[in-house]
Structure 1
Amino acid sequence: MTNKELAQIFATIADLLEIKGEVIYKILAYRRAAETFREYTRPVRDVWREGKLREIAGVGPAIAEKVDELLRTGQLAFFERLKQEVPLSLADLLTVPDLGPKRVAQIWKSLGVTTLQELELAARTGKLRNLAGLGEKSEAKILAGIEARRHATGRMPLGQAWPVAQDILKYLRGIPGVKVAEVAGSLRRMRATIGDLDFLAGADDARPVMAAFVTHPQVARVIAQGPTKTSVELDLGLQADLRVLAPERFGTLLQYFTGSKDHNVRVRELALERGLSLNEHAFVRKDGREIICATEAEVYRNVGLAYIPPELREDRGEIQAAQAGRLPRLVELRDLQSDLHAHTTWSDGQVGVREMALAARARGLRCLAITDHSQSLGVTGGLTVERLRQQRREIDAVQAELGTGFSLLQGAEVEIRADGHLDYNDDVLEDLDIVVASLHTSLRQDRARITERLLNAIRNRHVDIIGHPTGRLLPDRDGADLDMEAILKAAAENGVALEINANPQRLDLDDVHTKRAVELGCYLALNTDAHHPDHFGLAHYGVGTARRGWATSEHVINAWPVERLLQWLDERGHRRPRAVRPAEIGAAPAPAEQKPAARAGKPTARTPAPAAASKAGKSAPAAKSRKPAARRPKTSRPKAANARTARRRR
């Protein structure tokens, strides 16, 4: 049984339990197990044979027992009993946009609908509109969702394809005779979804490389095998192609198969202007002589361009920027100093505050915001105001233990409710170190209404970040129907950061809206939305999306030195003193071409506003409409009443 098959079984169990109405912690346990097995690069069967299932992060005794039964017998008695209670085909109904488990259960119990075909018939014959909470519009949306599902692209989220691709790439690099190997295509460009995988290798003899490739444990079947190209189908369902050329030709090979097609058309046009043709093997002069390139930098140099990072190769202005010497220094993973969106067992996280803080510090971060869900999001165990106060005491205790080298913030991921109000009142929000406001429910409201919900949050003076702004879930759920231009402009005007959620099922903002946000001078927050220590490792997916959107470390607030970030939060009017003052944090220096502002969040002659805001001679968003005096005069803050507050005074 493959990892993919194990993941599918546990995900289906979670779906059926949710339809059944089981308690949330049981559902989450199975869903987390499915996610773990889906992303695990080693065959789980091998770990099971070694008797080390419990060493897999997130696998507890109950899950390990069920995996053992599945791998020993090929079936699971619990799953078989569950299928007797809840028809297995109901899980398919959850793949229809706008159909959640409660609605599926209602339709099943009221109309006896158990399959997609029966659902479509019920919608077309007007039976759904008679159910409580449903109407003609709901029927139309369900029919549209069924149609969209029918025309699904079959692309896979980047997060599912990436770990498998890296495992195969490591394997290729270990084959004798392989001097260089890379993965190309949309995965190298960090697209949110992947259609197939393109592997490239440089070797003098391709035959042993091809022979070894088809024996990789992830290969399910060989589609075609030739002297320089082999195609296989992998266990996870993707096709993977391997091409092998001589190492000295690797530059043109890698540039060609990285794409995109539109980008490559522009590069070939530049080559033709110089009397050259370009293919994956070489440049060819008119007299037939070749120019061979071992690196991509040589390829771009031969057409008069600086090296263009793979994430920018979409024909969105990168050629012109390279010609003008204006390619940005894109944000990198090593730039990230903080993570400003993380969950613990206080809501739906998997470990406690201390474990998350230690894991963040071990990753090299200098600051972590604990942002558990707010009270109305009941399925996540959201925090009441009283529980929020209790959590504050724990966070302060952990901060005291960690000392001055790491800053632990108490925030909240505050629900933007269906009526447009935030889930906590202003007095509660003001006492938090940081506020992330997010949409989770009523995502199918009409454009005007749901846009206004988000705008209300952006205009609230206590909101610092808008979390996963569109609410999309890859590959099954599109984002809300938002007026994104209005959202982005409001964020820029109010100095509110927009999140690039690094969870590969979200990557929200997407690259297109990130690029527009950069053009408008918005702040960005690149967060993992971690629910487990391992999730901090997802940050690189968000970095890829940020780079595709032309973002630099100046745009990303959690790439700033921690001192600057904390000063920025201070200026935004939160009144709760943090346990560690910024000066005590060992802040990393800013990149060489950028220096931290004298007062964080305010552009000066030394620190320009992000992106295009300066083009119109305007200040950064925060300075335009989020001046501290307009939010909460500093004289109105509580006077030092205890040692912790006194430490904040200079």
Structure 2
Amino acid sequence: MDNKTIAKKFKLCGQLMELHNENPFRTKAIANASFKLDKLPFSIAESSLETLSEQPGIGKSTAEKALEIVHTGSFKELDQMLSITPEGILEMLNIKGLGPKKVQIVWKDLAIESVGELYYACNENRLIEAKGFGLKTQETIKKAIEFTIASQGWFLFAKVQPSAETLFATLEKIIPPGTLLSFTCDYRRKVEILEHVSVIIALSTEEITALLTQVTALTASSDLRYTDVNGFTFVFISTTKEEFYKDLFISSASAAHLALLPQEIPSAASEQDIYAALGLAYIEPELREGYNEVALAKAQALPKLIEYTDLTGTLHNHSTYSDGVHSLKEMALYCKDVLKLAYLGICDHSKTAFYANGLSIERLQQQWAEIDQLNIELAPFKIFKGIESDILSDGSLDYPDEILAGFDFVVASVHANLKMDEQKATERILKAIENPYTTILGHPTGRLLLSRAGYPLDFKRIIDACAQHQVVIEINANPLRLDLDWRWHRYAVEKGVLLSINPDAHRTEGLTDMLYGTYVARKGGLEAKDCLNTYSLTEITNYFQAKK
């Protein structure tokens, strides 16, 4: 064990002592010891207690701790600090721009206990109002987290898509005329998290390698495997013009999908021809996951998958009334003038969500008055009065019934006490579903992709209850959530449950996240008729009124 590793143990102990408000003199002494140990001109591991104790600024106590690290990997005080510190808090201490004092505010004041939750809070603009933070600090922390996630080798689809599309456009310009080219593998199937982006090209390995020397954004890491300037990995697959569609077909499918196919894959002039030769209707890439898509294709009963252009409005969005970046009017105008939507559902946080500037009843009245005025100004565009009501620990909703009755619709979501076991977590949500004021169940599992697994749920009971009580289930389109997971969409549709592709937008740019919600809805086999916010303004107005 080298001196630097030992010094880092002392540094961590000092950070944790500061985090837990230990005696400042002892905390400073541990921090100073870290510095002294790191600068010693000899190996601590090969030193005696006597020699180490004689060094300036070290002393016997520090020397004993250092040698304890050599023999056990830690020391008593550090172990005590670690025992009272959640794993997620330890991870935060490694983020550039976050010292113990800031982590303490994030943990104690904002109730955030993991890097994933912190990243989501940055996206929701929650950090800028916290003591000692601001917009610049928030952006620095966000970028540092993104770098950490990227360095682990997995990427969110939405994060890598801009780089992938830019690269593809570049390739189209520089490949020889008539060369066949396509995305393939997980990226083509719109899988929500990726290790790499695959591109198949009808060129030899040598030709592809020569071609990519013209792409300055790429650096070769191995044969036909490259890294771009953002740290994303791209894998290139070589094939011939004659075998292109067969190889595209095979590489685009999951192993489970291929296992369902009735015979050897033939070569053909298109994927449509390949499916036809197999006696099947064409299956869209998003569906090629090995569920029931082959049986449906055989029966000519595949769903007509939802398109982004089918969405006519957006529900579950935030404004500056709670933790949004843009005002209610700015959000509405962006929907109306830029996205050409017919309606906006505003769902700022409820009063219990103190961390997100949740609305008191008095502030609710102010918001409703502004909505009434804007609905006159912007007609026929309409803003619906919604709320993202916290589901409390006992399953009840925020606000008394007389206030809940005043909303056009209510999105009920869990934001706190995320460590319940499956039975308790399920019972809590079932109670919220049974509440007559619940219109939509928001981000059902609370997951944050690459950061936090959702709380455990009995999904069949949840979906069955939503069918019984006519509660819509959200597909939260934020790329970090994509919750409800697409693997449960089919069951929901079978049970007659509507889903809603909601961006959970906290700024105007976030409204376009509905695109990613549409991608996973397609993977789940959704048609436009299965999605609430494909309803026209008249249809959804009638739906909300009937629900009330």
Give your verdict on TM over 0.5. yes
Give distance in 1, aligned partners of 2:319 and 2:425: 28
1:350 paired with 2:350, answer no
Counterpart position of 1:538: 513
Task: Decide whether the 8 Å contact of 2:314 with 2:343 is kept in 1.
Answer: yes
- Structure 2, unpaired ranges of 5+: 1-91, 125-133
Give distance in 1, aligned partners of 2:121 and 2:440: 30
Deviation at 1:164, TM superposition (A): 2.0
The 1:178–1:462 alpha-carbon spacing in structure 2 relative to 1, beyond 3 Å, is: farther
Q: Which amino acid aligns with 2:356?
A: T
The 1:376–1:63 alpha-carbon spacing in structure 2 relative to 1, beyond 3 Å, is: closer
1:529 paired with 2:522, answer no
Counterpart position of 1:275: none
User: SS of 2:97's equivalent?
Assistant: helix
Correspondences of 1:495-644 after superposition (within 5 Å): 495-573=470-548
Task: Decide whether the 8 Å contact of 2:474 with 2:499 is kept in 1.
Answer: yes
- Structure 1, unpaired ranges of 5+: 1-7, 37-61, 68-75, 80-87, 96-151, 272-277, 284-290, 574-650
Counterpart position of 2:103: 19
User: SS of 1:174's equivalent?
Assistant: helix
Task: Specify which of 354, 368, 372 is matched with residue 348 of structure 2.
Answer: 372
Instruction: Output one character per residue of 1:515-558: Cα deviation in whole Å (capped at 9) or x when no partner.
Output: 21112111111111111111122112111111111111111111
Counterpart position of 2:235: 241
Cα RMSD (Å)? 3.3
Counterpart position of 1:387: 363
Instruction: Output one character per residue of 1:15-56: Cα deviation in whole Å (capped at 9) or x when no partner.
Output: 8675131787xx99x9689769xxxxxxxxxxxxxxxxxxxx
Deviation at 1:177, TM superposition (A): 1.5
Task: Decide whether the 8 Å contact of 2:473 with 2:499 is kept in 1.
Answer: yes
The 1:184–1:496 alpha-carbon spacing in structure 2 relative to 1, beyond 3 Å, is: same
Task: Decide whether the 8 Å contact of 1:339 with 1:369 is kept in 2.
Answer: yes
Deviation at 1:216, TM superposition (A): 3.5
Counterpart position of 2:49: none
User: SS of 1:369's equivalent?
Assistant: strand
1:325 paired with 2:296, answer no
User: SS of 1:512's equivalent?
Assistant: helix
1:266 paired with 2:260, answer yes
The 1:462–1:208 alpha-carbon spacing in structure 2 relative to 1, beyond 3 Å, is: same
User: SS of 1:554's equivalent?
Assistant: helix
Counterpart position of 2:197: 197
Task: Decide whether the 8 Å contact of 1:178 with 1:209 is kept in 2.
Answer: no
Instruction: Output one character per residue of 1:260-312: Cα deviation in whole Å (capped at 9) or x when no partner.
Output: 11212333x423xxxxxx3xxxx3xxxxxxx442x211221221211101111
Task: Decide whether the 8 Å contact of 2:175 with 2:211 is kept in 1.
Answer: no
Deviation at 1:250, TM superposition (A): 3.1
Q: Which amino acid aligns with 1:348?
A: D
Correspondences of 1:438-453 after superposition (within 5 Å): 438-453=413-428
Q: Which amino acid aligns with 1:20?
A: Q
The 1:159–1:249 alpha-carbon spacing in structure 2 relative to 1, beyond 3 Å, is: same
Q: Which amino acid aligns with 1:216?
A: V
Give distance in 2, aligned partners of 1:202 and 1:327: 30
The 1:380–1:17 alpha-carbon spacing in structure 2 relative to 1, beyond 3 Å, is: farther
Task: Decide whether the 8 Å contact of 1:172 with 1:178 is kept in 2.
Answer: no
Q: Which amino acid aligns with 1:257?
A: S
Give distance in 1, aligned partners of 2:246 and 2:537: 41
Instruction: Output one character per residue of 1:618-640: Cα deviation in whole Å (capped at 9) or x when no partner.
Output: xxxxxxxxxxxxxxxxxxxxxxx
Q: Which amino acid aligns with 2:275?
A: Y
Q: Which amino acid aligns with 1:183?
A: F
Task: Specify which of 245, 249, 256 is matched with residue 250 of structure 2.
Answer: 256
Give distance in 2, aligned partners of 1:254 and 1:474: 28
Give distance in 1, aligned partners of 2:155 and 2:171: 22
Correspondences of 1:451-470 after superposition (within 5 Å): 451-470=426-445
The 1:265–1:335 alpha-carbon spacing in structure 2 relative to 1, beyond 3 Å, is: same
Shifted more, 432-441 versus 190-199: the winner is 190-199
Once the two structures are aligned, what percentage of the paired residues are identical? 31
Counterpart position of 1:494: 469
The 1:401–1:13 alpha-carbon spacing in structure 2 relative to 1, beyond 3 Å, is: farther
Give distance in 1, aligned partners of 2:217 and 2:544: 47
Correspondences of 1:394-405 after superposition (within 5 Å): 394-404=370-380
Deviation at 1:155, TM superposition (A): 3.2
Task: Specify which of 217, 224, 230 is matched with residue 222 of structure 2.
Answer: 224
Deviation at 1:477, TM superposition (A): 0.7
The 1:313–1:12 alpha-carbon spacing in structure 2 relative to 1, beyond 3 Å, is: same
Deviation at 1:192, TM superposition (A): 1.9
Give distance in 2, aligned partners of 1:340 and 1:360: 11
Instruction: Output one character per residue of 1:168-221: Cα deviation in whole Å (capped at 9) or x when no partner.
Output: 222222224254432211122122211221112346x775553343553543x3
Task: Decide whether the 8 Å contact of 2:93 with 2:103 is kept in 1.
Answer: no
1:166 paired with 2:165, answer yes
Q: Which amino acid aligns with 2:468?
A: E
Task: Decide whether the 8 Å contact of 1:33 with 1:63 is kept in 2.
Answer: no
Q: Which amino acid aligns with 2:369?
A: R
The 1:541–1:9 alpha-carbon spacing in structure 2 relative to 1, beyond 3 Å, is: farther
Counterpart position of 2:408: 433
Give distance in 2, aligned partners of 1:266 and 1:292: 19
TM-score (norm 1): 0.62
Deviation at 1:243, TM superposition (A): 2.3
Higher relative contact order (CA 8 A, sep 6+): 2
User: SS of 1:382's equivalent?
Assistant: coil
Instruction: Output one character per residue of 1:423-470: Cα deviation in whole Å (capped at 9) or x when no partner.
Output: 111111110111100011111112222211111111111110000001
User: SS of 1:400's equivalent?
Assistant: helix
Counterpart position of 2:187: 187
Task: Decide whether the 8 Å contact of 2:260 with 2:290 is kept in 1.
Answer: yes
Task: Decide whether the 8 Å contact of 1:515 with 1:548 is kept in 2.
Answer: no
Task: Decide whether the 8 Å contact of 2:97 with 2:137 is kept in 1.
Answer: no
Aligned length: 435
Counterpart position of 1:157: 156
1:411 paired with 2:386, answer yes
Correspondences of 1:122-137 after superposition (within 5 Å): none
The 1:214–1:380 alpha-carbon spacing in structure 2 relative to 1, beyond 3 Å, is: farther
Q: Which amino acid aligns with 2:162?
A: P
Instruction: Output one character per residue of 1:80-112: Cα deviation in whole Å (capped at 9) or x when no partner.
Output: xxxxxxxx9xx99x99xxxxxxxxxxxxxxxxx
Deviation at 1:397, TM superposition (A): 2.1
Task: Decide whether the 8 Å contact of 2:346 with 2:384 is kept in 1.
Answer: yes
Counterpart position of 2:315: 340
Counterpart position of 2:84: none
Task: Specify which of 284, 300, 309 is matched with residue 275 of structure 2.
Answer: 300
Deviation at 1:66, TM superposition (A): 11
Q: Which amino acid aligns with 1:303?
A: L
The 1:266–1:63 alpha-carbon spacing in structure 2 relative to 1, beyond 3 Å, is: same
The 1:507–1:33 alpha-carbon spacing in structure 2 relative to 1, beyond 3 Å, is: closer
Task: Decide whether the 8 Å contact of 1:156 with 1:194 is kept in 2.
Answer: yes
Give distance in 2, aligned partners of 1:340 and 1:422: 19
Deviation at 1:392, TM superposition (A): 1.1
Deviation at 1:559, TM superposition (A): 1.1
Give distance in 2, aligned partners of 1:475 and 1:176: 35
Q: Which amino acid aligns with 1:270?
A: Q
